[in-house]
Amino acid sequence: MTEQQHDESKLERVIRKIKRCLALSKSSNENEAATAMRQAQSLMREYRLTEMDVRLSDVGEVESEKARANRRPTWDRHLSAIVASAFGVRSLSRRHWCDSDRRMVDRAMFVGVTPAPQIALYAYEALLTKLTLARREYVLQVQAGKRRSAYSPETAGNHFALAWVSAVHGKIHELVPRGEEDPVLAQHSDGRDLVAVETQDKALIEQYLADREIGKARKARELELDLNAQIAGLLAGLRVELNPGLATGGETQPQLTGARG
C-alpha cells in the first residue's frame, strides 16, 4: 500500500466514524446525542473536514459495460435519462479510449448517492438489452416487408425505439418506492421531507461534478417520425412489465419481464 492509499484509507475510516457520530447525534438520549455531536465536530476540525465533505463521500459513479464505437443513439440516451430521473441520479455519456477494444467508445454513466447509481445502472442495462432485441426484431420485419415504412429499416427501428422508451417511462417511475407510499410515513409527512432529500441529493451530485468538464447536450432536431413505427414501439413498450424488487442497500434489484418485441 502506497502512502497516498494509506492516507485515503485512514480518511475513509475517519469519515465512517463521523457518520456514526452524526447518526448518534439524533438519539433521543440528550446526553448521548450531545456527546456524539461533539465527537463528530472534533474529528471534522482535526481532519479539516466539512459536513459537505462527509456527505460527498456517499456520492459515487458507475458506468455501463455496454459501449458503442460511435455516439450512443438518441433512443439509448433517452433511456438512460428517464432511468436516471426515476432513481434521482444524473446520467452522462462518457466517451473515452478503451484499451481492450483499442478504440474510442461511448457508454452511459450514472452519478448519485449510493446505492441509487448501482440500481439505476442495473435497470438501464436490463431495459437496454430488452429494447435492443425488440428494435432488432422490428428492423428485420421492415426488411422482410412485414412492416411498412417510408424510411430505411434502421431509421424506422430508431423511431420504434423512441416510442418504446416513452411507453416505459411511466412504468419506471412507478417502480421506484416513494416515502409517501408508506402508509405509516404518510400519516406524519406532507411530502416535504422527500422533496428535501431529493433536493439535497441533487445538490451533492452537482457539487461532485463541479470540477468536471461536461459537454452540453446537443439540441434535438425536430423529426417527422414514422407513425407505424411509433405505434408498434408504444405497444411493445406497454407490454413490458417491471416488478418492483428494490431492497435496502440495493442488494435486491428490479426484475423485468414481459413479452418480447
Distance in angstroms (rounded) separating the CA atoms of residues 119 and 31: 38
| pTM for the predicted model, two decimal places | 0.74
User: Measured on CA atoms in the order 55, 202, 179, 168, is the torsion positive or negative?
Assistant: negative
Distance in angstroms (rounded) separating the CA atoms of residues 31 and 76: 53
Angle between helices 153-175 and 227-238 (to 10 degrees): 30
Task: Please report, for the chain, the start and end positions of each structural domain, with discontinuous segments joined by +.
Answer: 3-56, 74-88+114-258
Q: What is the grid cell recorded at 82? A: 428517464
pLDDT tens-place values along the chain, 261 residues long: 555 555 667 878 888 888 888 888 888 888 888 898 888 888 888 888 877 778 788 898 999 998 888 889 999 999 999 999 988 999 999 888 888 777 889 999 999 998 889 989 988 998 999 999 999 999 999 999 999 999 999 999 999 999 999 999 988 877 776 554 444 444 444 556 656 777 888 888 988 888 777 766 666 666 678 899 999 999 999 998 876 653 233 344 445 554 444
Edge-to-edge, what's the strand order for the sheet holding 59-68? Answer: 59-68, 103-113, 90-98
